Amino acid sequence: MAVAGQVNHLLIHTLEHQRKVRVSQGKGVFKDVPTTIGTVIGRVNPASSKEVLIGEQHQAKVSHAIYLETGADSVVNDEYIFNGRRFRVTVAKLIPSVDIYTKVLAEEVQHG
């Protein structure tokens, strides 16, 4: 598909993909621990005013839009790390009308 080629060349960054995994601490106590589940090719852009509005409709904070390869597995609270910056997904899987990439909305967060 010609359109896919036009977009895919813009997905030029490697992002570390993390998801919290519940780990037993013993005696019925569990802790959510961020765990790297892989890397993905994508792009991180500041959110447009329209994307911020979509976030507000979902009662979510949005500072950035993250474009990922088609079919990327991403859910709310996943985190992407790029250039020492961390982005937490607040609205997952906004798929465009042409299925050429997956877009999620995220909030930049501090480490920790």
pLDDT at position 9 is: 66
- List pLDDT tens digits, range 3-58: 444 556 678 899 999 999 999 988 889 999 999 999 999 999 999 999 999 888 88
pLDDT at position 2 is: 41
Cβ atoms < 10 Å from Cβ of 53: 11
Q: In the chain, how many H helices and how many E strands?
A: 2, 6
Does pLDDT of 78 surpass 80?
Answer: yes
Quickly tell me which residue has 């601490």 as its tokens: 25
Please answer whether residues 69 and 11 qualify as being in contact, where contact means their C-beta atoms are separated by less than 8 angstroms: yes
pLDDT at position 98 is: 63
**Angle, alpha carbons 104-40-102 (nearest 5°):** 30
pTM score, whole prediction = 0.83
Instruction: Using DSSP, state whether 24 is helix, strand or coil.
Output: strand
Query: Using alpha carbons only, how large is the chain's radius of gyration in Å?
Result: 15
pLDDT band at 94 (very low <50, low <70, confident <90, very high): confident
**In terms of residues, how long is the chain?**
112
Q: What is the mean pLDDT of residues 79-98?
A: 86
Tokens of 39: 């890397």
All domains of the chain, ordered by start, with CATH?
Answer: 2-109 (2.40.10.270)
d(CA 27, CA 82): 36
